[in-house]
A = this chain, B = another copy of it.
Amino acid sequence: MSVVLELGKKAKKAAQAMAVTSTEVKNRALLAMADSLVEQQDRILSENAKDLEEGRRAGLSSALMDRLTLNEKRVGEMAQGLREVAALPDPVGEIVEGWRLPNGLEIQKVRVPLGVIGIIYEARPNVTVDAAGLCVKSGNAVILRGSSSAMNSNRVLAEIIARAAEEAGLPKDCIQLVPTADRESARELMRLHGYVDVLIPRGGEGLIRTVVEESTVPVIETGVGNCHTFVDASADLDMALRIVINAKCQRPGVCNAMETLLVHQEVAERFLPRAAQELRAHGVEIRGCPRTRQLVPDAIEATEEDWRTEYLDLVLAVRVVDSLDEAIDHINTYGSKHSEAIVTGDYSAARRFVREVDAADVYVNASTRFTDGNQFGLGAEIGISTQKLHARGPMSLRELTTTKFVIYGDGQVRE
């Protein structure tokens, strides 16, 4: 039996026990996991140092090296994250709805854990702890499959939290790490249909694409955010500028940052030169359509490819559109269905944008940067779903559950 299949079998068994574990025990375990991380910080940092050493030798980019790095502060943040998850309400056991039928049967739709959750992720070792915490709180068993570049860090983190969890009363094997990070182990995990109930890839577009292509386990696609802001003819241009700068510059490397700015032709002349000046002051490179370049002469010429690109960087594609229709059409054609915003003073434009733009999160007069479980008031998130099945938008504890129908009768049979 392969190592991954063995993990799957153990996880399935653990999931059955997890499903009936009380909130009290789960919370105690989360706090114990947090304490353990802090106590064994030195061990964590020394294992992390090995990954960093190998990363240096392999010539990883400074961005990747940064994601890989753990330090006292980051270990503290992981521990704090677990404590915050412990403080969130337990989604399991909620009666979502219920009713009585004419024949006397009583039906309840009850929230239950998904079972076994697989997480495939890249680089950042904190995902090991963050994802495990959310899976535990929602009553699931988790199989973690990190990248080889973070293997030493992931291994020590998983070992510490798994032991603390078990000692605090959680079922054995409720947190497991795939011990190898080769292609084959990922592929096996993706084919564990019947053992893994859902697979959540966290990482770049390439990883997500591979998982969608190869997995027979149901997948929730996360993350890719080619987000737009549309400045309508009736926009308050001061507000528009504030929102544009925030959406592009406040943290350009994340999925809810703006990648393309659309401007209604009626305000392009008044808005674009001013916006370009401020964007430049923030270090943003502008790639514009022909009409944009007339107003912003130093903008680079945008190609079709630019409309499709998630830069995750201080680069912005800009296009002048004739109408609200053209803006909606552009977004529905090129967007990744993540977060889209309109800045407008027009009631019916707002209404149409909200209805006709096909995306997980649609904003009127606000920055797309708010798309986040914590910002929405939902608590820590495991990712942002850009697909339509099961969960859409920020996924918090509730999205790591499913429901079952429970039907209480007194001997009813079907006529």
Contact = CB atoms under 8 A, between A and B. Distances in A.
Given A197-B388, A219-B218, A393-B405, A366 B412 contact: yes
Contacts of A239: 410-411
A114 interface: yes
Interface stretch (A59-67, A181-189, A352-360): A352-360
A1 interface: no
Contacts of A360: 404-405
A402 B376 contact: no
Nearest to A16: B332
A200 to B, nearest CB: 11
A213 B414 CA distance: 35
A362 B245 CA distance: 53
A272 to B, nearest CB: 19
Interface of A: 16, 19-20, 99, 101, 105, 107, 114-115, 193, 197-198, 212-213, 216, 218-220, 236, 239, 242-243, 245-247, 250, 332, 354-356, 358-367, 369-371, 375-377, 387-390, 392-394, 402-414
Contacts of A114: 388-389
A390 B390 contact: yes
Given A193-B212, A388-B114, A414 B361 contact: no
B409 A364 contact: yes
Nearest to A357: B404
A375 B414 contact: yes
Nearest to A221: B218
Contacts of A354: 406
A107 B356 CA distance: 17
24 contacts: A19-B355, A99-B377, A197-B388, A198-B388, A198-B389, A218-B219, A220-B389, A245-B413, A247-B413, A250-B414, A362-B404, A362-B405, A364-B406, A366-B408, A367-B413, A367-B414, A369-B413, A370-B407, A376-B405, A388-B402, A389-B390, A389-B402, A390-B390, A393-B405
B404 A392 contact: yes
A411 B345 CA distance: 11
A401 B242 CA distance: 35
Contacts of A216: 212-213
B402 A358 contact: no
A376 B102 CA distance: 10
A205 B308 CA distance: 39
Q: Which 3 A-B pairs have the closest CB atoms?
A: A366-B409, A246-B413, A369-B414
A359 B220 CA distance: 21
Nearest to A104: B366
Contacts of A332: 16
Nearest to A354: B406
A352 to B, nearest CB: 9
Contacts of A404: 358-362, 392-393
Contacts of A212: 193, 216
Contacts of A105: 366, 370
Contacts of A370: 105, 407, 412, 414
Given A16-B332, A19-B358, 6 more contacts: A105-B370, A250-B413, A358-B404, A361-B407, A366-B412, A371-B405
A129 B105 CA distance: 31
A218 B387 contact: yes
